[in-house]
Structure formats: structure tokens, C-alpha cells
Amino acid sequence: MSSVCLSMEGGAAASTPAALPYYVAFSQLLGLTLVAMTGAWLGLYRGGIAWESDLQFNAHPLCMVIGLIFLQGDALLVYRVFRNEAKRTTKVLHGLLHIFALVIALVGLVAVFDYHRKEGYADLYSLHSWCGILVFVLYFVQWLVGFSFFLFPGASFSLRSRYRPQHIFFGATIFLLSVGTALLGLKEALLFKLRDKYSAFEPEGVLANVLGLLLACFGGAVLYILTRADWKRPSQAEEQALSMDFKTLTEGDSPGSQ
């Protein structure tokens, strides 16, 4: 709350916590390493990526890691990284990153279903696939609801304020479930191919285990930056003023607000 007061008093508004940039840089380094390592794993041990062959399957892990891990994670961080920019700009960037993530994830989904169809494999029998479908549906619903509340001009200020904590909680939860689903998928890919060789510390197994730990670390780093109380985005002066007006105006219609 003290940062709000500071920003209302004047020029001190554009301050950034000293340690934040280092944590953000670290998270980005982790995220890029993740994407590069997924590419390296698929290139070195799985024959690379192509759409018109058996290699179509490999588009699935790469798209999912880029879309539902790296881009989704970065979309959550937008309000921390651009904490001193106008709220509207930040909102649009948040929405755009989530659209990119959704489209790339959709390509990854099409890749695996198309591959299964061509090879005659069963769909949606594994825990990875169940979690994956759950994540994708929740992610899509969250995007739609988020858009209607925050980008569509019709929603009232009080409605937005009440929905915001839910949006943040479900956003973080969907992201963490995405990380868990990726770990399950990685494990599945290893056990299907390596089988008993996994226990002989095959290089592919070790590389994929390290990739799995990095996935978990990226999830942890994003969660830390997102939840640290003193790194939350300060309300800007004009929003503060607006919020006061709207609060007075709208408080009447929600006496029993939970």
C-alpha cells in the first residue's frame, strides 16, 4: 500500500524493485534454455521435426513448450515486467501473448491428433492426455472470460475488481498444471521409447530428466515473481482516483460482497 501512496505523491511512481530485473532475467534465461533444450532433445534423439512424416509427432512437444510453458509463463509476468507502463498497453500485451500461446498450442494439439490418426493409435487414454485436454479447455475458457471482463468495455469496475483475484489464481493454476502436464508427457515419451534402457542412464534419459527439472524450475521462478507481494504492480494515480469514484458509485449494489 505504501507504494500506492508514493505514486500518488508524484515523480517516485516509476520505481522498480532493485532485485526484480535479475529475477526476470533469470526466468527468461531458464525459459529460453527450456525451448532450446527441447529442440536439442528432438533433434539429437528423435530425428528432428517435420509435418509430413513420422516426425510430425515431434511438433507436439516443441509447440507445447513454446506455447503453454514459455509464452504462457511470460504472459503472466507482463504486469511485473512492465509495471510502470500504462495499464491498457500492458493488458493488450498480456492478451496478445496469451493468443500466441493458444495458437501455438493448437498447432501442437493438431500435430499429435493428426499423427495418432495416421498411425492408427488410440487417443486420450493416458493421464498426460487427460490433463492436457483439461489444461487446454481451462486455458481457452480463462482467455474468453478474461477478455469479456477486462478488454471488453462493458464490464463495470466493481465486477472487474471482484473477478481479478479469481483470474489471477486460475491463471497461475492453469500455468502450473501446464508444467505438470509437460512433465507427464516427457516421462511418457521416455518410457515408450527407452523402456528398460532408461534405468541404464542412457544419455537421452539424462538429458530429458534435466529438461524436466528445468521445466519445474521455470514454473517455480514464474510463480515467485508473480506472487512476491512487494513486486505487485502499483496502482497508478489516475486509476486510484477512478477507483475511489467507482467504489462510491457501485458499492450500493453489492452490500453482501463476499
Residues that bind its own copies (CB under 8 A): 1, 17-19, 121-122, 125-128, 130-131, 134, 165, 169, 173, 176-177, 179-180, 183-184, 186-188, 190-192, 198-201, 205, 208-209, 212-213, 216, 220, 223-224, 227-229, 258
Least Å from the CB of residue 189 to its own copies: 11
Residues in the chain, overall count: 258
Comparison of 44 and 50: residue with beta carbon closer to its own copies: 44
Contact residues for 183 (Cβ-Cβ < 8 A; gap 6+)? 212, 215, 216
Least Å from the CB of residue 165 to its own copies: 6
Comparison of 46 and 228: residue with beta carbon closer to its own copies: 228
Q: Give the number of C-alpha atoms closer than 13 A to the C-alpha of residue 112, restricted to the C-beta side.
A: 19
Least Å from the CB of residue 100 to its own copies: 25
Q: Which residues of 175-213 are buried (b: 16+ CB within 10 A; e: fewer)?
A: bbbbbbbbbbbbbebbeeebeeebeeeeebbebbeebbe
Least Å from the CB of residue 171 to its own copies: 12
Comparison of 86 and 127: residue with beta carbon closer to its own copies: 127
Rounded CA gap, 217 and 179, in Å?
Answer: 10
Q: Which amino acid does the sequence have at 235? A: S
Least Å from the CB of residue 134 to its own copies: 7
Q: Which amino acid does the sequence have at 245? A: D
Comparison of 16 and 89: residue with beta carbon closer to its own copies: 16
